[in-house]
Amino acid sequence: MKSEPIFDLGTAESFCLLTLGCKINQYETQALREAWTTRGLTERTDARQADVVVINACAVTSKASADVRAAVRGTHRANPEARIVVVGCVASDDRELLEALPGVCAVLSQRAKAALAGIFEASSPFPPLSISDYPRARAVLKVQDGCSHGCSYCIVPSTRGTAVSRPARDVVAEARRLLDAGFREITLSGVNLRLYGSDLGENIDFWGLVRLIERELAPEWAGRARLRLSSLDPAQLTDQGLETLAESRLLCPHLHLSLQSLAPGVLARMRRGHYGPATIFRFLERLSGIWPVFGLGADFICGFPGETEAEAETTREAMAALPLTYAHVFPYSPRPRTSAAAMPNQVDEAVKKARAKELRTLAGRKAHAFARRLTRLDSLAVVLEDDEPWRGRCEYYVECRFDAAPEEAARRALVNARPISARQTRLDVAQSDAAGCDSPKSAAFTPGGL
């Protein structure tokens, strides 16, 4: 696959990268960072000091698009001489608006990111971007891109294209590079992990990929490093998935589910009628026999077109019954080129915001209850992220703050910690002398009813 050069750096000697949006964008920004520093350019953290400023941006909601325009205007005010490049999903949504903004010299689509990094040939349809480092303490590893499902509200198929998967051996190789570079937590991430492998012709799906990583890396890294899974489609909650989780020596006891709604009528209008609450509850009940303690997050959209008060209540009741430990809640945002934007019975903005507030309040109570219950555990495994104050995230995806600097610890390290107390949705912890960093396989604790 060949592309033509789409942006000429010219005499530029320095660059600044601004990332708005998802973990996939963060990964792709890192790939561009490594490509440009390899070519001899200097990265600046302050846009005022850069010759070129790249804004890698999202368009999943109307607010996200507005944030991009605000970032462009702010960058130009701070550095009128900078050449501003906007790249990513937002280019398909707001190209003309962005091109008209002062300072913008290029607006590039999601598919142009590899060319922007100077890669003009690829051996597979998967975007040929890779990384060997990451600016954060917990690394992201992109294994899949695009989506072929066609949810009625989603702009992703028109911005990122149909589903493409990264060859499994490339995933394993990059995971090994990141571990060798000192990372002790890697998140496997994609736009729709349920579709992983559907285009590879290798007779492998996402759970097969996880098993391959386990076979290759667990003998050396189990107990020393861990994997975390990014958002899963509920259709992935299968017997194969349960077996993979049960046998894993690397996975964090934490799942995040793309639920969006739990009202059957709303799911049907979303074109997400391939799952329902009963399937999810059955899987989680079985999972609690494997993971006595686990973190569980979910995404919800409130006020989807036609959502009645009864349907909103169905989702609230199901959410209350689920053993959720946190949730990401968004009011529905109509996007161009989606069928949902033209649906009748659009819900009033005030109603959408009120419903979202209710779910966020419920999610906050669940997060606090989970943090309090984690204080009953003897030990947690925490990846250190910052040192002012020392803080990190445990295997259950809860923020932990240390009462003192851990001994002989550094950013990215995996250390044992003893929970002291819960403060809202985070834990105060102290370094523990417990041997090893494995998650507990059994405990006098169950997550039900949170």
Rg over alpha carbons for the chain, rounded to the nearest Å, is 22
Cα–Cα distance for residue pair 369/367, rounded to 1 Å:
5
Does 267 lie in the same domain as 186? yes
CATH assignment at residue 46 = 3.40.50.2300
* Closest CA relative to residue 284, chosen from 313, 314, 245: 245
Same domain membership, residue 223 and residue 330: yes
CA distance 351 to 444: 41
End of a domain among 332, 358, 384? 358
Q: Is the CB of residue 31 less than 8 Å from the CB of residue 130?
A: yes
- The count of C-alpha atoms lying within 13 angstroms of the C-alpha of 228, restricted to the half-sphere facing its C-beta, is 27
- Rounded to whole angstroms, the Cα distance separating 105 from 88 reads 15
The sign of the dihedral angle between the CA atoms of 189, 195, 198, 199 is negative
**Domain presence at residue 223:** yes
One domain, residues 244 and 287: yes
Other C-beta atoms closer than 10 Å to the C-beta of 200 total: 18
- 448 CB neighbour count, 10 Å cutoff: 10
pLDDT at 115 over 90: no
250 belongs to a structural domain: yes
Report pLDDT digits (tens) over 377-417: 999 999 999 888 899 999 999 999 999 999 878 899 999 99
Residues 352, 234 share a domain: yes
Report pLDDT for 261.
98
Rounded CA gap, 97 and 63, in Å? Answer: 15
How sure is the predictor about 133, in pLDDT bands with cuts at 50, 70 and 90? confident
- Cis (ω within 30 of 0) for the bond into 406? no
Residues 311 and 224 in one domain: yes
Is 31 buried (19+), middle (13-18) or exposed (0-12) by CB count in 10 A? buried
Six token digits for residue 289: 């026999």
Local structure of residue 225 (DSSP, 8 states) = B
Q: Are 164 and 125 in contact (CB under 8 A)?
A: yes
Same domain? For 79 and 151 the reply is: no
Q: Is the pLDDT of residue 435 over 70?
A: no
Q: Which of 328, 358, 388 is at the close of a domain?
A: 358
Residue 414 forms part of a structural domain: no
Domain boundary among 358, 382, 412: 358
Average pLDDT over residues 273-287: 96
Average pLDDT over residues 289-317: 99
334 and 193 in one domain?
yes
Q: Please report, for the domain that includes residue 322, its CATH number.
A: 3.80.30.20
Q: For the residues 81-95, what does the mean pLDDT come to? A: 87
In a domain, 391, yes or no: no
Same domain (yes/no): 107, 169? no
Position 128 in a domain: no
**447 has a pLDDT exceeding 60:** no
Reduce the DSSP state of residue 153 to 3 states and report it. Answer: coil
Residue 368 confidence (pLDDT) above 60: yes
Do 214 and 312 fall within a single domain? yes
Q: Does residue 355 register a pLDDT over 50?
A: yes
Q: From residue 217, give the alpha-carbon distance in Å to each of 121, 141, 180, 353, 412.
A: 30, 15, 11, 45, 18
* DSSP three-state, residue 265: helix
- Domain span including residue 107: 14-116
Q: What angle do CA 90, 95, 100 make, to 5 degrees?
A: 125
How many domains does the chain fold into? 2
Amino acid at residue number 240: Q
Distance CA 342, CA 413 (A): 49
Determine, yes or no, domain membership for 296.
yes
**Are both 176 and 289 inside the same structural domain?**
yes
Q: Mind listing the pLDDT tens digit for each residue in 233-269? A: 999 999 999 999 999 999 999 999 999 999 999 999 9
Q: What pLDDT does residue 444 have?
A: 31
